[in-house]
């Protein structure tokens, strides 16, 4: 499961437990159990962003994927449809790997 998280000052689905920054999430439909597991992993990633700073700017400004990847990303439907996402924003659709 892949989730794209983006900062928001509006209605947030999750908040960072360190700085309080709100985030909206783009993800494919999954069960309640999968969402609960994903929210836990999102909080782990949000805390990791604060290794060097306690400020909200510790989070990437253009969004970030959860789980984070080290090599080539695999983008799922909801995240792939988000324009200007952190998932290779300048790549053409043919250059993206999409699994729906």
6-18, pLDDT tens digit by residue? 999 999 999 999 9
Give the residue numbers spanning the domain of 58.
3-99
What whole-number distance in Å separates Cα of residue 71 and Cα of residue 63? 17
* More confident: 24 or 78: 24
Q: What is the tally of structural domains in the chain?
A: 1
> At 86, is the pLDDT very low, low, confident or very high (cuts 50, 70, 90)?
very low
CA distances from 40 to 23, 67, 90 (A): 14, 11, 30
pTM, to two decimals: 0.65
What whole-number distance in Å separates Cα of residue 65 and Cα of residue 54? 20
Task: Name the token pair of 79.
Answer: 């995240």
> 80 pLDDT exceeds 80?
no
> 96 pLDDT exceeds 90?
no
Sequence-distant (6+) residues with CB within 8 A of 34 are 1
């Amino acid at each position: 499961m892949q989730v794209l998280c983006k900062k928001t000052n509006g209605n947030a689905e999750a908040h960072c437990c360190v700085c309080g920054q709100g985030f909206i999430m783009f993800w494919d439909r999954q069960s309640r159990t999968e969402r609960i597991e994903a929210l836990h992993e999102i909080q782990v990633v949000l805390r990791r962003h604060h290794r060097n700073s306690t400020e909200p700017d510790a989070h990437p400004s253009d969004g970030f994927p959860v789980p984070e990847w080290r090599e080539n990303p695999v983008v799922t439907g909801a995240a792939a449809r988000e324009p200007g996402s952190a998932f290779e924003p300048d790549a053409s659709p043919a250059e993206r790997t999409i699994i729906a």
